[in-house]
Amino acid sequence: MAMADRLRLLLQAAPVLSSSGSFSSSSSSSTACYKEGGCISDYVAVALTALVSLMIFGGSVLLVLRRTVPEIKAKQVPLLLIQSIGSIVWLTSLLMTRNMFKLSHRNSFWESCYLWQLWLEGPFGFGLLISCHIARAFRLYYVFVGRRLPPIRSTFLVPLLLVLWILLSTALQAVQPFRSINECSARWYIWVVIGSMHLFYALVLILCTWAIRNIRFEFNEFTELVTGVSICLIFLVLWIIMNIVKQLAAGGGRLLGVVARFVLVFLGNVIVSCLFWIPVTRPLLAHMLHHPVLGAGRSNLNYDHSMGEALGVPNSGLLVPPAAHISLDEPLESLLQHKRFRLSFLSFAESRIAGETVHFWDEVRELSKLSLTQQDRRVYMADHIIQKYIVNGSQCEINISAQMRLEILSTNDLADPNLFKRAAEEAVHMMQTNLLKEYWQSSYFQELKNQIEMDMEYSAQLERMNIRDIPLRVIRNRDYELPTDNPFERSQASSVPSSGPLDPQGVNLGSRTNGNSTSKSLDFKNIPPWESKAHESQSAYGNRLSKIRVNMDGSASSQSRHLSNRNRLGYLISQRSPSPPHHITPGLDSYSDDENNNKAKDPNIITRPASR
């Protein structure tokens, strides 16, 4: 109680209009709880803050785990993490500066008002929160309005933005505005200065948001920013009103003070929650709801889809023209347009740890499918490709010259259709010189040939049995388009047959070779189990299964074999004979047996080595 007396004396001397209010000698419960904290509303406020902080922490963890999903990646996860740190710091500082706690060691550094009000609530709390949004708006402005890459990374921009506030805090620290180190009471103009700093940052955010108002964003960044800004403004206005009311009603202000600080903390929680959860709720929920058990294990329905899928790139190019029309003498670029070939080639490239070039080429191809009018989507995709493949030290950096890299990074138009043209050509050149020759001799190519032959055989059998229409398969292949009325072509162009129409295993099997499944999974991330032992039994050519090994000593002899194989396939393709090749026994039963074997040994999704 001695301390309370001391404080009373101090405060009686000063014409203070702060949150500590005036004193009366009678220590009613409201006074005691007003001065030292411990009101019921205070406990509620603390509990609320703790709850909100925990939820934000949990949300951040979820974001980090799911940071590769395109919709979440577009929100810039590092910025979101910084924002959540800022939020938690700010909420805590709101609590600490309102005399809510009955603190015993009032003179310690950790309860210093300077720390909490000047530093943690200001630059590292509210300032951090708003700066993250400003940085996000800045990046969006540069990329979408300016169509160039921003000169500074967003995470480096945030400290820059805080410099101003830090300077102000330093200045205030020097001036020593607070009466004592533990009481957050100061002259009214100090509060005006601090409050105006808050307002200033909010205004900057409004300006930045206004600058990007015309862009239609794929992932709703603009609406989220606007929501965030308006919530901030509402909060600030309410805060100002609250403070003014408190000063005006200084006399009977104790109860009002208690209520005021509770409302402040409550509002702070609300604003922080809104700012954090509004951007991330939809993508996180959409992502999590598709897992059968939330996040536990990997389901067959693979939701780690690519940016191309997220932007709605049409998944065509598979069946038109049908696989039988692949001529293996085409240049590599046109061969790669056929999905089956592309998948097979990709698996081979990944076994040689050179997969990133094929992925890059594929994503550039997807970019080219976005029409020129969809500028914002093109920009998203181009930015994604640059961050993933071009930037120095990126996760899947491709092997291009410094000049080419510089050309792409210093572009003035991210939506330029020719942005990646030269790099893609270089990628094709590298694939041709490094991988193509060994691909023809590899087991991956053998498997592709087998699959094509099996397809042709199956469709020939169907024709013999007069089965024309296979509507169930059409149901499953959502992206399938019926090219002609020719039943032979139609059935031929469909997927590898599976045992049942809507069998989920069948879906998986179908997704092995042509990637169409009820889930919108991107096929080239599902490694077809070329490595599985199943295809050894099926492979009629009996090649040795060496994945990485390029046996140069054996190549001379296998070359001639490989040429004859190619010619053979060409013969099969050109003839399209309904009579089965001798090595595949006719009849559906044996075929489905093989295929059941294949299914049984079909391993689950294999994780790739390190091309991520």
Partner 1 sequence: MGCIFSREAADQGDIRDTIQAREIDKRIAQQSTAEKKVQKLLLLGAGESGKSTIFKQIKVLFQTGFDDSEKKNYTSVVHANAYQSIKILLDGLQEFSESEQEKYTLLPENKAIGEKLTEIGNRTQQPPLTEELAQQIEALWKDPAIQASYLRANELQLPDCASHFLNDIHRLAQPDYVPSKEDVLYARVRTMGIVETEFSPVGETKKRGELYRLFDVGGQRNERRKWIHLFDGVTAVIFCAALSEYDQTLFEDESSNRMIETKELFEWVLKEPTFEKTSFLLFLNKFDIFEQKINKVPLNTCEWFKDYKPLTSGQAEVENAYGYVKTKFEELYNESTPPDQRLDRVFKVYKTTALDENLIKRTFRLVDEVLVRQRLMDAKML
The residue written with tokens 């979101």 in the block is 80
**What tokens were used for 465?**
């049995």
Is 594 near partner 1 (CB under 8 A)?
A: no
CA atoms within 13 A on the CB side of 590: 9
The one segment of 183-191, 192-200, 446-454, 553-561 that binds partner 1 by CB under 8 A? 553-561
At position 150, the amino acid (one-letter code) is P
Is 549 near partner 1 (CB under 8 A)?
A: yes
Interface pattern 313-342 for partner 1 (x via CB under 8 A) = ------------------x-x---------
The one segment of 156-164, 277-285, 402-410, 525-533 that binds partner 1 by CB under 8 A? 402-410
Is 174 near partner 1 (CB under 8 A)?
A: no
Contact at 8 Å (CB) between 87 and 275? yes
Is 399 near partner 1 (CB under 8 A)?
A: yes
Quote the least distance from Cβ 402 to partner 1, whole Å: 5
DSSP for 33-71 reads: HHHH---HHHHHHHHHHHHHHHHHHHHHHHHHHTTTSHH
SS3 122: helix
Contact at 8 Å (CB) between 57 and 89? no
Quote the least distance from Cβ 72 to partner 1, whole Å: 25
At position 88, the amino acid (one-letter code) is I
**What tokens were used for 276?**
């954090």
The one segment of 180-188, 348-356, 465-473, 567-575 that binds partner 1 by CB under 8 A? 348-356
Is 422 near partner 1 (CB under 8 A)?
A: yes
Is 405 near partner 1 (CB under 8 A)?
A: yes
Is 609 near partner 1 (CB under 8 A)?
A: yes
CA atoms within 13 A on the CB side of 50: 6
Q: Which residues contact 414 (CB under 8 A, 6 or more apart)?
A: 143, 147, 148, 149, 378, 379, 382, 383
End-to-end CA distance of the chain: give it in Å, rounded.
63
Within residues 429-448, the interface with partner 1 by CB under 8 A covers: 429-430, 433-435, 437
Quote the least distance from Cβ 353 to partner 1, whole Å: 5
Q: Name the residue nearer to partner 1 (CB basis): 249 or 354.
A: 354
Residues 352, 369, 520, 576: which binds partner 1 (CB under 8 A)? 352
DSSP symbol at 521: -
Tell me the C-alpha distance between 291 and 302, whole Å: 9
Contact at 8 Å (CB) between 398 and 425? no
By CB under 8 A, the count of residues binding partner 1 is: 37
SS3 128: helix
Is 386 near partner 1 (CB under 8 A)?
A: no
Q: Name the residue nearer to partner 1 (CB basis): 361 or 458.
A: 361
Is 387 near partner 1 (CB under 8 A)?
A: no
Q: Name the residue nearer to partner 1 (CB basis): 403 or 410.
A: 403
Is 551 near partner 1 (CB under 8 A)?
A: yes
Quote the least distance from Cβ 556 to partner 1, whole Å: 5
Is 410 near partner 1 (CB under 8 A)?
A: no
Question: Cis bond leading into 292, ω under 30°?
Answer: no
Q: Which residues lie near partner 1 (CB under 8 A)?
A: 331, 333, 349, 352-354, 356-357, 392, 397-403, 405, 422, 425, 428-430, 433-435, 437, 548-553, 555-556, 559, 609-610
